[in-house]
Amino acid sequence: MTKYVINGGKTLNGEVTISGAKNAAVAIVPAALLADGPVRIENVPKIIDVTLQMEIMRELGAQIRLINSTTVEIQNTQNPSLKPHELERKLRASYYLLGVLLGKYGFAEVAMPGGCNFGGVRPIDQHIKGFEALGAKVTLPKGGYIRVEAPEDGLHGAHIYFDVVTVGATMNIMLAAVLAKGQTIMENCAKEPHIVDLANFLNALGADVKGAGTDVIKIRGVESLHGGSYSIIPDQIEAGTFMAAAAACGGSVLVKNVIPRHLECITAKLREMSVEVTEFDDAVLVRREGRLTKTNIKTLPYPGFPTDMQPQMTTALCLAEGTSIITEGIWGSRYRYTEELSRMGANIHVDGAIAVVEGVKELNGAPVRAHDLRAGAAMVIAGLAAKGVTEVEQVQNIERGYETLVEKFVALGADMYRSEIPDGAESANRA
């Protein structure tokens, strides 16, 4: 076990380079199995989720070669092992293997999604609805697995209307449909940048996907996909996390390797909070000198404010002057981390999907837990801004989605390091 030890209260200054987008990589990396030739993917983030995916793909028989720290070459196999693997249970994005394996080989059996727990298993009803519309038979055998089988004549195009806007189902059905016979039309699609990135990746390999980034995506199935090369977009949420950290801690941080258009909703809220944000072609400069001011946030599907930035921004607003109201419009039970902030002196009251934040002048260091990926990022921001020492446990949740987070913050002037926890010491630290 590992924890982060943070000696807070220091401003952040300097430059940070953002890694490839986690939410794009966890779909694009397995999507390489759809191609008949070798696929080179650049700007791959070095995070636990992607590492686990590549382990699973190797077990399936894929050949994976690391070209350098951020570039990988993947060659699929014509005779994959399609048995479920225990690794998949640890991986929230394991279900993207469903679309890939169903589309390529006509069969898949994958563990139910793992990863972050916001209070119950993530619903996959819209995934199932889409697969069945394409002609697949979907069963749920015992043991927490999902089995999908294509008919003898293969998947066929269909008209699919999603009952709710869903990123995962939009991407998964796209993966299954690119090799299906005929045309697939998906309506009420999610519009996130990583959906556009996946479509661009598939098209670079010979797919025919149109409309990604709008609420209607049309896919005309092709006979096969060929090899190629592609570079993953920068991570919108990692960039937003460093922007929120600069706001909470003060100082001046240049966030490099970003697409400013993807950050507009975050930038707008920071400016409402009296933070200065200057946009460049592929960077944003975040400055904060005086005290933060209150604002209200409601999370919504893209281009609205992202749910994955809610914990980080709420943490910054704990130090703002006045009362801020946060409304969680995507994941209603995403406020577990507020109990940790309260341990540090924050004044937060949660009622269902709404959190009321009364700003305080300072937070105080305390032992806290990273209940999930973004909650963990929020704990790091809180520790950096707090007076005294904060110890963040369960950091494996953070490292699922952030590459070299400690090193990046240290380069900005933070005083933090990773420390090994002796067996049995984790719960004692919080007693």
Amino acid of residue 56: I
Question: CB–CB of 119/352 below 8 Å?
Answer: no
> In sequence order, which residues have a C-beta less than 8 Å from that of residue 425 and are 6 or more positions away?
none
Q: Is 117 annotated as a binding residue?
A: no
d(CA 374, CA 383): 14
308 marked ligand binding residue: yes
* CA 258 to chain centroid: 16
Annotated binding residue at 125? yes
Residue by residue, DSSP assigns 338-393 as: HHHHHHTT-EEEEETTEEEEE--S--B--EEE--SHHHHHHHHHHHHHSBSEEEEE
Catalytic annotation on 116? yes
Half-sphere exposure of 148 (CA within 13 A, CB side): 33
Q: Is 153 annotated to bind ligand? A: no
22 annotated as a binding-site residue? yes
- Marked catalytic residue, from 116, 249, 265, 318: 116
DSSP tag of 424: T
Residue 130 tokens read as 């889409």
45 is an annotated ligand-binding site residue: no
- CA 297/CA 325 separation, integer angstroms: 7
92 is in an annotated binding site: yes
- Measured distance CA(376)–CA(183) in Å, rounded: 42
Any binding-site annotation on 23? yes
Paired tokens of 287 = 């400055």
Helix axes 48-59 and 22-31, enclosed angle (nearest 10): 10
**CA atoms of 394 and 399, how far apart (whole Å):** 10
Instruction: Specify binding-site residues.
Output: 22-23, 92, 122-126, 308, 330
Q: What residues form the annotated binding site for phosphoenolpyruvate? A: 22-23
Binding site per annotation, positions for UDP-N-acetyl-alpha-D-glucosamine: 92, 122-126, 308, 330
Catalytic residue positions, numbered: 116
